[in-house]
Amino acid sequence: MFTILTIMFAGILCGRLTRRYPDIRRTAGRLLLPVICLLLLAMGVGIGANTQVMHHLSTLGLQALIITVGAVAGTILCAWIVYTRFFRAHHEK
């Protein structure tokens, strides 16, 4: 976990140091999608090679579906509460 946080903060620092150079930002923007695709491919290969994960894929899929539905429902509920508490009176005027 420490390694991940260190890499993340190193990226933030690099972004702050190079924000005045549009050529570097443009190049980083072009490289972002291919790098993310390669990371997803590597993650898929790692998961596909793990026999334990592949044997329990149906159970994991159901759990992921339940977590996703709960997260979306919670987000909608919180957004509704924030809207009714802070923004509804503003829009009714």
Which pTM was predicted? 0.55
What span, in angstroms and rounded, lies between the C-alpha atoms of 2 and 4?
Answer: 5
State residue 93's pLDDT score: 58
2 to each of 6, 17, 23, 43, 54, how far by Cα in Å? 6, 22, 31, 20, 29
Check if the beta carbon of residue 54 is closer than 8 Å to that of residue 48.
yes
Which amino acid appears at position 80 of this protein?
W
State residue 86's pLDDT score: 87
Going residue by residue through the chain, which has 93 residues, state the pLDDT in tens, using 9 for 90 and above. 889 899 999 989 998 998 888 888 889 889 999 999 999 999 999 988 999 988 888 888 899 999 999 999 999 999 999 999 888 766 665
